Amino acid sequence: MGEDAEFGYNRIEIFVSVILGLLTAVSQYLKYRHTSRAYFVKKIAIPTAIALLISICISLFGNVNYDKYGAGFLAAIHLGIFCGVYSVVANAFYIWSGLHGKLAAAGASVAHIGFGILLIGILISSSKKEVLSQNTTILLPFDPKSKQNPLENQTLFQGVRTDLGKYTATFINSDSLSADGKITYFRILFENKNGKESFVLHPNLIKNSKGQQGYSNNPDAKHYWNKDIFTYISYADKIDRDKDTSKFYQHPVKIGDTIYYSSGYMILDSVLVNPENDKYHYNKSDTALMAALTVVSKDSVRYRARPLFYLKNNQPQFILDTVIAQNLAIGFSKVLDNHQIEISVRESPTMVPFVALKVYQFPFIRLVWLGTLIMMIGFIMSIVRRLKLNNRVQAVI
């Protein structure tokens, strides 16, 4: 297979598809045991000419110019497109000329038409696919085993709108679906720059079964009549968050006291009972305490933190506050004696959730599904016809 397994696979499959396309196009015109050359040429000449004309139009005006592996492979793609079109046209023509329009007997031809459409869809959508997640900013050091190109994986920080060519993408949040936390869905908001469209995709990561490390990425897609926007999570910092060894450190403080951290300090300004503000809403019947702190960085920039401690069903609850710019998580963990409270502080470089997103645009991939559907219909038609013929033979016997 070589280092490029994808090309090693495709360079074989493209010629397999050529052979199958040709066989499904001409096999219906072959008579049992003997087919004269004159008969064969006469029957196949018109569909061959029509297929050649259509495939040339697709090659010239369809912008199929996949030159990643050179002119030889591109020529093979165009040959495959011709064979797919040839299969469709030749079998459609056979239903009209060979079977005189008898659809009940056309199961094989219908299945071949479906295969031809499937082949065209695979070749066009794959050769014209476009990577939308071109990354020129923050490149992640992917494991070489992942075969991921950092330049084709856009890094999205939670809540930050990021450019994706025709679209912008925003990583909204991630939520675990199953009770055991094995499936995590990521909400990615896509917005068309023309301002006329927006949609949310939910790619997910599935934690591998016991005994296996890592996650499997499960994609999501936005479907259009002429294209699909296909996306998956190639990396999420959530994978490594369990490896974060940073801890909370407890600090008993009174109002006015100072707590130091590696990049600055923070001051406890006040403790409010049942706060009512833009962040919290409590009334007199609640039991809630909010610590108001001012965080001052080394460069004298000031931030505000408001962790909360409250009781719910006689159980203590804690709401952390974060200062993303300083990689801080701050908690109000306990009420002490002598007018003191306990503030918990954690410093961690993984405060801002982020993902690496791979986004493809596949044009005309619905031809793949249409071809598959038609092929299955042809199979069913053939099965039904065979059952009817068997019933007739049994009736005669």
- Provide the CA 339 distance to its chain's centre, in angstroms: 53
Instruction: Please report, for the chain, the start and end positions of each structural domain, with discontinuous segments joined by +.
Output: 5-128+365-396, 144-242+354-360, 249-347
DSSP assignment of 316-351 equals EEEE-EEEGGGTEEEEEEEE-STT-EEEEEEE-TT-
- pTM (predicted TM-score): 0.68
Q: Tell me the pLDDT of the chain (397 aa) as tens digits.
A: 667 777 788 888 888 999 999 999 988 888 777 777 777 778 889 999 999 999 999 988 888 878 778 888 889 999 999 999 999 999 999 998 888 888 888 899 999 999 999 999 999 998 888 899 988 777 777 777 777 888 899 988 888 888 888 899 999 887 766 656 678 889 999 999 988 899 999 999 888 776 566 778 899 999 998 999 999 999 887 666 555 567 889 999 999 999 999 999 999 999 999 998 887 888 888 889 999 999 999 999 999 999 999 887 788 888 888 887 788 889 999 999 888 999 999 887 666 778 899 999 999 999 999 999 999 999 999 999 888 888 877 777 6
